[in-house]
Amino acid sequence: MKKIDNPDRKNWKSLLQRTMLATDEITETVNAIFGEVRDTGDRALKKYTHKFDGIALGSFKVTAAELDHATNFVADDLKKAIDIARANIEKFHRAQQTKKTVVQTMEGVECWQEKRPIQKVGLYVPGGTAPLFSTVLMLAIPAQIAGCQEVILCTPPNDEGKVHPAILYTARLCGVTKIFKLGGVQAIAALTFGTETVPAVYKIFGPGNQFVTKAKQEAIKYGIAIDMPAGPSELLVVADDSANAAYVASDLLSQAEHGPDSQVILVGRSKQLLVQIEVELEKQIEQLPRKAIAKQAMANSKMIFVDNDDTAIDLINYYAPEHYIVCTRNAAVYIERVHNAGSVFIGNFTPESAGDYASGTNHTLPTHGFARQYSGVNLDSFQKSITFQKISEIGIQNLGPVVQQMAAEEQLWAHKNAVTLRLNDLNGKTL
């Protein structure tokens, strides 16, 4: 980690710079695959699955037999762990439900807002070396609580045409049974346009590499919503001498092992602690199976000493971290004054990995500074707010003249007339 002592504010921008997103080359690949999937449907899906996943699939749909089969290949201990995580995540997301509250803004004027599920959603679960069944939990549980009618899950097959049993087991546990062996750009394109076998959806969720990220941006152009823009995962820890150096080092490394482009920032309020953490990092990193990746990520990471809380919290808000761990004696300052963060972990016994898997909060969070304006995935991500209003005869008499006045000033005469007609009728009537 690079060490920086009380950096000048004018250097924050370059100091906290993130890696660049999508290149032109990626854009071209995405455009080509989107065009082909739109024009030739399943044929294009087969071609690209063969090309990128190394398997010629006859059918993309995971069968009921495959789902049954998966259950036998998940160890009981893992099933128990998944079930505890599922219960916690469900409890936390269920608590996000809001009730319809009818507001009488004037006598006879009733307004309310209701949440209704997005009818068709697509969940993307990346492939790669590890089976990300935790992402299945994080996306499928809120979709189920929201009541989304059609939930489509896409995840790439391995070169034998199979999906890891833990992913299939978790999906079915969360009520998702429409699962397609499709990865990368071709999966996002299929969810965007629909094909002979894959239904089109209204909104696409889930993480992915730069190609998937770019593909989701492309989907927006065709009127599809996405959960949020994305970049590499990142963590910022603020710590003073009440923090445990070994714990902080382990948290920094659990971020760093995600990928060489992961970013880790440590904001230290104690110089002695920073030295201790450096020692711990050197010790712990050598024991990691993914140490080559972690070392690359750590090389790009920063250890910043800041000598006062005001500057430190400003710097944290400037950076807007996806994950934000607070290990300071005066934690309240760093919690109450944070504006921009995806998810906040408080105290020495709250590692980021708790939230990544099982505490109950969602792990699909805004990266790349998008915490300034985007929420992480939550129950609302799977719903729309619809407003309703019902005005009585008395209500329109109270409100009507206000509408007439404003509509006339905006020169929208038909708007005014819609009220005038009703008021005229009521004037001839005893209420």
**Coil, helix or strand for 278?**
helix
Total residues binding a copy of itself (CB under 8 A): 126
Using the minimum distance from each CB to a copy of itself, give the nearer residue, 206 or 305.
206
Which residue among the candidates 218, 322, 352, 363 is catalytic per the annotation? 322
Which residue among the candidates 93, 323, 363, 368 is catalytic per the annotation? 323
- State yes or no: residue 95 binds a copy of itself (CB under 8 A): yes
Question: Which helix (DSSP H) or strand (DSSP E) does residue 153 occupy?
Answer: strand 150-155
User: Which among 103-111, 182-190, 208-216, 264-272 is the span making contact with a copy of itself, rule CB under 8 A?
Assistant: 103-111
Strands in 16-108 per DSSP E? 103-106
- State yes or no: residue 271 binds a copy of itself (CB under 8 A): no
- CA 90, CA 86: separation in Å to the nearest integer? 6
Whether 322 is catalytic is yes
Whether 114 is catalytic is no
Instruction: Confirm if 417 and 380 have CB atoms less than 8 A apart.
Output: no
User: Which among 174-182, 205-213, 270-278, 371-379 is the span making contact with a copy of itself, rule CB under 8 A?
Assistant: 371-379
- CA 298, CA 321: separation in Å to the nearest integer? 16
Sketch the per residue contact string, 159 through 198, with a copy of itself: x for CB under 8 A, - otherwise: -------x--------------------------------
Q: What type of residue sits at position 326? A: V
CB of 48 to a copy of itself, least distance (A): 25
Q: Which of 223, 247, 225, 252 is CA-nearest to residue 236?
A: 252
Per-residue buried b or exposed e for 74-92, using 16+ beta carbons within 10 Å of the residue's own CB: beeeeeeebeebbebbbeb
CB of 40 to a copy of itself, least distance (A): 20
Q: What type of residue sits at position 321? A: P
- Which 292-331 positions form the footprint of a copy of itself (CB under 8 A)? 294, 317
Q: Which of 136, 184, 210 is CA-nearest to residue 363?
A: 136
CB of 136 to a copy of itself, least distance (A): 11
Q: Which of 224, 196, 200 is CA-nearest to residue 152?
A: 200
- State yes or no: residue 422 binds a copy of itself (CB under 8 A): yes
Using the minimum distance from each CB to a copy of itself, give the nearer residue, 61 or 372.
372
- State yes or no: residue 415 binds a copy of itself (CB under 8 A): yes
Catalytic residues: 322-323
